[in-house]
Amino acid sequence: MAPELNGIVVVDKPEGISSAGVVARVKEILGVKKVGHTGTLDPFATGVLICCINQATRLSQFFLKGDKVYEAELVLGTVTDTQDATGTVIERHPLDGVSAEQVHEMASRFVGTITQVPPVYSALKHQGTPLYKLARRGSPVEKPARPVRINHLEILEVNLPAVRFSVSCSSGTYVRTLCADIGRKLGCGGHLKALCRTASCGFPIDAAISLEKLAELRDQGGLGETVIPMNEALPFMPAAVADDVLAKRIRNGTKLSEADLPMPPRVSDQGVFKVVYPHGRLIAVLAESPATGRYNYCCVFSA
């Protein structure tokens, strides 16, 4: 019997398929029971979609919080109800007085921590129902503004009404809302025409694989080259090395403190660290608890 496949696959999502559709396709290609993605891309969007396989689905919480990088095309002068090209045009405005210099200057104002009102056409839920479903029924619900972080925003090309840009941002940032807000501040409105996620949690699009190539490697018996083991899937997370005795205590759920570990572990920005065997296999992810002086278990993996 073949060992269970656990790890992540970095998929280059094509246009015209939902993130759930990619998950279903990956599940079919790999012949596994559990697959989950780590950050929705709209059907018209392309690029990096991290898919977690079997036990690795428990790691999705750490990828969901990671920074993302996108390349996008903003069209100025046209406003849609969905803030992107899939929606209905509800406003048109002339671009009189809008220059490339103004676009660059305005974009620079959005770098840093900003507030965004999530779009009414989004997968966020209100009383258990996705907002986009409520909006399609004619009962849109607007969520409160919330802070997001724009790490870097670079204008790549201005060919009015089109503006191409690259943006690095925190989890939860809506690039289409960013486009709409830039257009609104310029006084002409705007919407997102095209979007490609070029990196997610440090995994670049160069490391992503198409669904067609994934199926081809399966047929050639080369999936081992494609599925990234769970430990290697968390390069951004500090590691503590454990022996068999400590690993057994962890799998038994024993409460641990700093004194139980061979060296005081560093923690990530999320306050967590991974515990691995000397050869690298992932045992668990733990979180510090300064109030108690002990560590809390985020997830523990079978031997």
The DSSP-derived string for 280-298 is: --EEEEEEEETTTTEEEEE
Pairing of strands 46-53, 190-200: parallel
Q: In this structure, what token pair is assigned to residue 192?
A: 């997102």
> What is the Cα–Cα distance from 83 to 253, expressed in whole angstroms?
47
> What is the Cα–Cα distance from 17 to 45, expressed in whole angstroms?
9
Query: At which residue do the structure tokens 């045009």 appear?
Result: 89
Report, as residue numbers or ranges, the catalytic residues. 42
Of 170, 167, 171, give the one whose Cα is nearest residue 154: 167
> What is the Cα–Cα distance from 139 to 148, expressed in whole angstroms?
26
Pairing of strands 146-159, 129-130: unpaired
